[in-house]
């Protein structure tokens, strides 16, 4: 078997959204991609940027614990986007005009500075101008991707850095900004073109799964295929993770069978192998067991009222969590308390809003919760 074939080499769905992003980037537009974590937001932007020949600088604000960390990630992002010798020479010339050096140390060159000689605010403005300068000199486009942008407020208490970034989004001509978020804040809707990623269409996901499995000499029986789709609920990241686990578990079973019989692996796996519903269940179970520490950590960070809502939706999915019978059945808080919990979970990317029926956005998390509570 080849090394992990379970990546969406061609977009399983979202072709319309991909074309939209292409057009926005080609016209020097700025955009906001909204959707659940793991649904393919960043990959979609990367694919569109490659298609229009743009360089990509990516920063996840969850990693920017302070201003210095943000500056380091911004500088590294630029040198990664412009990494060949000619481009490095241009950056070297640029750096000599500022109190910044270019350190040629393996595995890649880095922009360096002394905090004593350069104030953070000045350095911020200088570094943020560099992608625009490089794009002008090389006659190319640049896409700066900001993920989890609102997290900047955890250290930018006065909003000075955020406000400057908002201004630059509108001002820079050769640089497009692509923000990734779970929901759209009011200021984003007014200044960025909005792209909303819904869960994948089930027919598209089914076609991708059947085709990819067939390429590995495997196929699902009808019940297994429907169970798989019910587990991942259109979530691309979870679909890839579960498909890979089914594939690996099947490979392990084939190897074990070959060793037991003392015959060659090709003899065992030469014909197309059938995957059954219980195989999918066992793979989902083992995968969520591996993810349990991550899921436990996530749950521990949530208030009890939000945990209660998540558990209720995992055990008893509904598109009407505000219904009186549902509230009584699961002993949820009434009125504003429930709505507040749902809104907060939506902002965190854990629950869809009313548009998609208040589902848990990460189906494997829902599967794990259900197994833990059953």
Q: What is the pLDDT of residues 11-70, one digit of tens each?
A: 567 888 999 999 999 998 999 999 999 888 998 999 999 999 999 999 999 999 999 999
For 114-124, what is the mean pLDDT? 80
The answer to whether domain 15-196 and domain 294-373 are alike in fold is no
Name beta bridge partners: 110. 103
User: Looking at the domain that runs over 294-373, which CATH code has it been given?
Assistant: 1.10.10
Which residue's entry shows tokens 């902002």? Answer: 347
Q: What is the CATH number of domain 15-196?
A: 3.40.50.300
Going from N- to C-terminal start, the domains of the chain cover 15-196, 202-290, 294-373
Q: Are 239 and 212 in contact (CB under 8 A)?
A: no
Residue in 7, 10, 9, 5 with CA at minimum distance from that of residue 250: 5
Give burial (CB, 10 Å; 0-12/13-18/19+) of 55: buried
For the whole model, what pTM was predicted?
0.85
Closest CA to 59 of 45, 50, 70: 70
- Which residues are CB-contacts of 297 (< 8 A; sequence separation ≥ 6)? none
pLDDT at 211 over 70: yes
Q: Give the pLDDT confidence score for residue 368 in this predicted structure.
A: 98
Q: Which of 354, 234, 245, 325 is nearest to 290 (CA)?
A: 245
Cβ contacts of 52 within 8 Å, gap of 6 or more: 22, 25, 26, 141
CB–CB of 341/307 below 8 Å? no
Whether pLDDT at 318 is above 80: yes
Q: Which two tokens stand for residue 25?
A: 């980037």
Chain segment 237-248, per-residue pLDDT in tens: 999 999 999 999
Helix (H, G, I), strand (E, B) or coil at 8: coil
Residue whose entry in the numeric block shows the structure tokens 């059938």: 274
- What are the phi and psi torsion angles at 30 (to 5°)? -115, 150
């Amino acid at each position: 078997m080849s090394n992990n074939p379970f990546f969406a080499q061609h977009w399983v769905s979202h072709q319309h959204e991909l074309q939209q992003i292409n057009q926005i980037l080609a016209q020097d537009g700025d955009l906001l991609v909204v959707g659940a974590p793991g649904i393919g937001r960043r990959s979609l932007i990367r694919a569109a940027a490659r298609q229009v020949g743009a360089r990509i600088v990516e920063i996840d604000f969850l990693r920017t614990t302070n201003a210095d960390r943000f500056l380091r990630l911004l500088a590294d992002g630029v040198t990664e986007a412009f990494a060949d010798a000619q481009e490095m020479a241009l950056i070297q010339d640029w750096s000599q005009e500022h109190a910044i050096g270019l350190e040629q140390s393996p595995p890649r060159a880095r922009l360096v500075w002394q905090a004593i000689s350069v104030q953070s605010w000045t350095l911020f403005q200088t570094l943020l101008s560099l992608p625009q300068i490089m794009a002008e000199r090389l006659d190319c486009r640049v896409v700066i991707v900001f993920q989890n942008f609102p997290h900047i407020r955890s250290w930018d208490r006065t909003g000075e850095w955020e406000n400057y970034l908002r201004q630059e989004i509108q001002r820079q001509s050769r640089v497009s900004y692509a923000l990734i978020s779970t929901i759209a804040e009011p200021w984003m809707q007014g200044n960025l073109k909005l792209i909303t990623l819904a869960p994948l269409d089930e027919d598209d996901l089914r076609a991708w799964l059947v085709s990819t499995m067939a390429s590995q000499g495997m196929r699902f029986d009808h019940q297994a295929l429907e169970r798989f789709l019910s587990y991942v609920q259109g979530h691309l990241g979870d679909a890839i993770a579960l498909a890979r686990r089914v594939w690996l578990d099947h490979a392990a079973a084939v190897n074990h069978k070959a060793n037991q019989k003392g015959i060659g692996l090709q003899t065992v796996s030469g014909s197309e192998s059938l995957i059954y519903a219980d195989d999918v269940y066992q793979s989902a179970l083992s995968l969520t067991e591996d993810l349990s520490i991550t899921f436990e950590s996530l749950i521990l960070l949530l208030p009890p009222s939000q945990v209660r809502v998540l558990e209720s939706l995992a055990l008893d999915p509904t598109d009407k969590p505000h219904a009186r019978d549902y509230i009584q059945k699961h002993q949820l808080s009434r009125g504003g308390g429930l709505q507040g919990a749902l809104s907060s979970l939506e902002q965190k990317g854990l629950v869809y809003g009313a548009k998609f029926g208040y589902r848990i956005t990460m189906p494997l998390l829902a599967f794990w919760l259900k197994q833990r509570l059953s």
